Amino acid sequence: MESTVRTYLGHLAVERGLAANTLSSYRRDLRRYVEVLTSRGRDAIDRVTEDDVRAFLVGLREGDADHPPLAAGSAARAVVAVRGLHRFALREGLAADDPAREVRPPTPPRRLPKAISLAEVERLLNAASGPDRGDRGTVGDATAAARALRDRALLELLYGSGARISEAVGLDVDDVDLGEGYARVAGKGGKTRIVPIGEYARRAVEAYLVRARPELARTGRGGPALFLNARGGRLSRQGAWMVLRAAADRARLTDVSPHTLRHSFATHLLDGGADVRVVQELLGHASVTTTQVYTLVTVQLLREVYATSHPRARG
């Protein structure tokens, strides 16, 4: 069983080009699946039954002594991994049938993306490089100033381009063309796309490159990464998340996540009249249906405008 899982994960990495984070989640889900199957006496992929798969799903939702109950979204991801494993086993001749074919992932509740207002975005961006930063006086003045410029450039780029936080920290200096106003990012599945960089983000990134990055690179090895940490290495996702959280705290904004600026980018574009298919391309969504959830946000805005503006909106 474990050998089949390893082969399947290798197939996903090499043939399908799944992102490292997705592979890590699948590996964790399938490790738990193998544990459940072993406890039920299944030691080979061709001995698994539909009841085994359904029992695994029930266990995900109910939890046990070692695992808390999973939300519908997390359980759905695990079932998707299991279904993919059994389809692979059937296709490769490792099993005679697919016991997971009729087991459907639970449907997570539909949640609207969280977006913040333009005024809140401006508060957040100003807080990234404002005078009330907590690192003033705790590190060298030059390093503190460099980090402030880096943080402003990072958040301006995230909001100005709609890039995922992992895409932003994965950028190299050569991936950004400030003259033309675009960046080349590597999205999910290794797919590369071009994202625009607006004037505010261009100025912030240029200021960082000229006045801050050399200071941060001084203690490192001079690598190609666009955004550097205080040791001169590539800024990590966790480091970027801390930058965002610190700025949100200073701006007195709550519930701001790494995806908040991306959601705000999409929502503000649609509110400004952008076509949903253009926003789909900018976000790097494979299907326009993924992007259309943002239109629900703008419909709410339309209702509010109608309710407050039309003379016959209320009795």
The catalytic site residues sit at 164, 188, 259, 262, 285, 294
Q: What angle do CA 166, 171, 177 make, to 5 degrees?
A: 135
Order of strands across the sheet with 176-177?
Answer: 176-177, 182-186, 192-196
The number of beta carbons lying within 10 Å of the beta carbon of residue 176 is: 22
Query: Do the beta carbons of residue 126 and residue 148 sit within 8 Å?
Result: no
Residue 265 three-state SS: helix
Tokens of 238: 């966790």
Percentages (nearest 5) of helix, strand, coil residues in the chain: 60, 5, 35
CA distance 126 to 138: 20
Residue 225 three-state SS: strand
Residue count of the chain, please give it.
315
Q: To which H or E segment does residue 186 belong?
A: strand 182-186
Partners of 225 in the β-ladder: 172
CA distance 33 to 31: 5
CA distance 153 to 285: 24
Q: To which H or E segment does residue 62 belong?
A: helix 50-62
252: buried, middle or exposed (CB in 10 Å: 19+, 13-18, 0-12)? exposed
